[in-house]
Amino acid sequence: MRLSRAFMPTLKESPADAQVVSHVYLVRGGFIRRLAAGIYNFLPLGWRVVRKIEDIVRDELDRAGAQEVLMPAAVPAELWQESGRWDKYGPELLRFKDRKGADFCIGPTHEEVIVEMVRRDTSSYRDLPLNLYQIQSKFRDEMRPRAGLMRGREFIMKDAYSFDVSEETATTAYWTMYRAYERIFRRCGLDFRAVEADTGAIGGSRSHEFQVLADSGEDAIVACDHCDYAANVEQAEVAAPTAPGIAPGADGHAAATTRATVATPGQKTIEEVSAFLKVPATQLIKTLIYIADDQPVAALVRGDRGLNEIALKKAIGASALYLARDSEVVAATGVAPGFVGPVGLTIPVYADHELRGATAAVTGAGAADAHHVGVDLARDVTVTAFAPLRLAGPGDRCPRCAEGHFRGFKGIEVGHVFFLGTKYSAPMACTFIDEQGASHPMVMGCYGIGITRVAAAAIEQNHDGNGICWPMSIAPYQVEVIALQAGDAAVVAAATALYEGLTARGVEVLFDDRDERPGGKFKDADLIGVPLRIAVGARSLKDGKLELKWRRDDKPTLIDVDGAVAHVAELVAAEQQRLRALADAPSAAPGGAA
């Protein structure tokens, strides 16, 4: 592509709302343009990147035995009513009516539609297993669309669904997809971890998120420094405590052991109370009020800990849970949040297992502007149940191997594999007849990849202060040829020959033939991030040389004009081969090999 003819508008200014690097460079580099909040146009460069990622995804899914289909974006409400999600999904689901008044939604995910597709034409065990995927725009009316392609409202997803006759074969399908995902993200040149994730109401351990490690990630991950265990903190197990987490003298602090009420005017947060009473946060008990299936409950964790809502939900056996609003806290406890304490509560009290045997603790007093000191949980509080309720964090002992400790990471979720079981096939009667003639619901799995989010995540991991450093496998072009002096006939001739020679060999070349100053061309090249750059300049050309520079390197090297086409084409082929070969590294899935 000649840049002089291309629609590749680069910008000097960053978008005002940009918080992350990928957003800045995607807009400045002319990859995307915002149409509305969380909704983007893909310009030629951006669309090339999307297609590169899609090609890798297609290649690996076809290799894994899946077949591509395409489902409609507009989905009739009846299907969602059948699965029960029409009422449950909430405001992220964009609903509308057609001219006859029939309800529809724009699909945010397509379990219902694929189940309808499969149940119509599949009835025998002989037709299974099946694995179908599509690559399509999804719409989710996210509360806070942000960060460009990272969290959009309309975004491109690959979603796949497997259908099997038994748990056992469905489990095989699950791990086949897990391995395909490893291969896909490796080929995209990403540094990622597959982490155990929440399975929600379905239970079981078969849900993994593929997280690209990046400081700008929204997800907190812990990974053991000794064994393979890695999990989203929402899901991470916490090792059973070996001693009470609160005791007099813990943290070297001499605390009151007899219960007393002390005045704490206006001191509500853990930090405020800790500073005011001069006790460490580890001596405090945080009392949080939740509404679980419409009933108030109290949850207790140590002052320095976070509460794991998924764990609390499990401990209660609730199907819905949210942090109580201020008015609900007052209704349940008689006091405003900040001074709520566990002593004398009449609602169920769930305590983190680390609080078993806690003494000398500081808690809210259940009255305004006061706290209790010297609380002994066994003596003073009616605990309904102890359970692991706190969030895992860096430094925790690993619950799996008991030898290592957790390290903390930030991650961007680029993919998700999920064992569904019969969650959709049972209510929607997606059944098959077995060899004996009996009917069963099919056993399903679902598997998503955020195609457009992969592009953003790749930039978060591959950039410098001047722009993007694309891995070659997903770069919009493989090579950029720059004619440094567009008015110099010899330069133009040599650059054109290189551009045409490489293109003829199948190399994807962006040719900066614009009549602009070299400085501006180099700046744009760095911003756009094509991995290999060849600058053709009058001075080195006189000596029969061209300047070759990898985007990631600081300095160029000189190569001969003679044979340059073959040489550059070989470098491209070798880099593509290197990235492709990464896919064959051993798999972390049971059964090993890729």
Residue whose CB is less far from ligand ATP, 349 or 417? 417
Q: What are the Cα distances from residue 85, in Å, to 88, 416, 450, 545?
A: 5, 20, 22, 65
416 makes contact with ligand ATP (CB under 6 A)? yes
Sole window of 27-35, 126-134, 238-246, 407-415 interacting with ligand ATP (rule: CB under 6 A): 407-415
Identify the helix (H) or strand (E) that includes residue 192.
Answer: strand 192-196
To ligand ATP, the closest distance from the beta carbon of 142 in angstroms equals 5
Q: List binders of ligand ATP among 249-308 (CB under 6 A).
A: none
Binding mask 80-119 for ligand ATP (x = CB under 6 A): -----------------------------x----------
> According to CB under 6 A, which residues from 154 to 213 bind ligand ATP?
155, 157
Q: Which stretch in 374-382, 392-400, 444-452, 560-568 sits in contact with ligand ATP by CB under 6 A?
A: 444-452
Report the sign of the C-alpha dihedral through residues 332, 334, 340, 341, in that order: negative
Please tell me whether residue 152 binds ligand ATP under the rule CB under 6 A.
Answer: yes
Of 411, 441, 450, 476, the residue at the interface with ligand ATP (CB under 6 A) is 450
Of 565, 566, 571, give the one whose Cα is nearest residue 549.
Answer: 571
Q: Does 415 bind ligand ATP (CB under 6 A)?
A: yes
Residue 450, helix vs strand vs coil: strand
Contact call for residue 140 and ligand ATP (CB under 6 A): yes
What's the CA gap between 391 and 288, in Å, rounded?
14
**What's the CA dihedral at 200, 409, 237, 218 to 10 degrees?**
-20
C-alpha–C-alpha distance, residues 528 and 133, integer Å: 31
Q: How far is the CB of 349 from ligand ATP (least distance, A)?
A: 31
**Segment interacting with ligand ATP (CB under 6 A) among 120-128, 179-187, 420-428, 450-458:** 450-458
Least spacing, CB of residue 209 vs ligand ATP, in Å: 7
Q: In whole angstroms, what separates CA 481 from the centre of its chain?
A: 35
CB 26 to ligand ATP: min, Å: 13
Instruction: Give Cα separations from 205 to 195, 199, 209, 386, 425 (angstroms).
Output: 11, 7, 12, 23, 20
User: ω before 15 within 30° of 0 (cis)?
Assistant: no
By CB under 6 A, residue 364 contacts ligand ATP = no
Instruction: Report the residue count for the chain.
Output: 594
| Contact stretch for ligand ATP (CB under 6 A) within 241-249, 331-339, 445-453, 523-531 | 445-453
Of the candidate residues 413, 460, 513, 575, the single one contacting ligand ATP (CB under 6 A): 413
Whether the Cβ atoms of residue 51 and residue 15 lie closer than 8 Å to each other: no
The answer to whether the beta carbons of residues 143 and 16 sit under 8 Å apart is: no
Question: Is residue 421 a contact residue for ligand ATP (CB under 6 A)?
Answer: no
151 part of the interface to ligand ATP, by CB under 6 A? yes
**What residues contact residue 310 under an 8 Å CB cut-off, 6+ apart?**
198, 234, 235
Minimum distance from residue 548 beta carbon to ligand ATP (Å): 36
Residue 276, Cβ neighbours under 10 Å: how many?
15
Among 48, 453, 545, 551, binds ligand ATP (CB under 6 A): 453
340 binds ligand ATP (CB under 6 A): no
Residue at shortest CB range from ligand ATP: 450
CB of 89 to ligand ATP, least distance (A): 11
| Non-local CB neighbours of 174 within 8 Å, separated by 6+ positions | 162, 206, 417, 419, 445
**CA-to-CA distance for 77 and 85, rounded, in angstroms?**
9
Q: Which residues bind ligand ATP (CB under 6 A)?
A: 109, 140, 142, 151-152, 155, 157, 413-416, 448, 450, 452-453
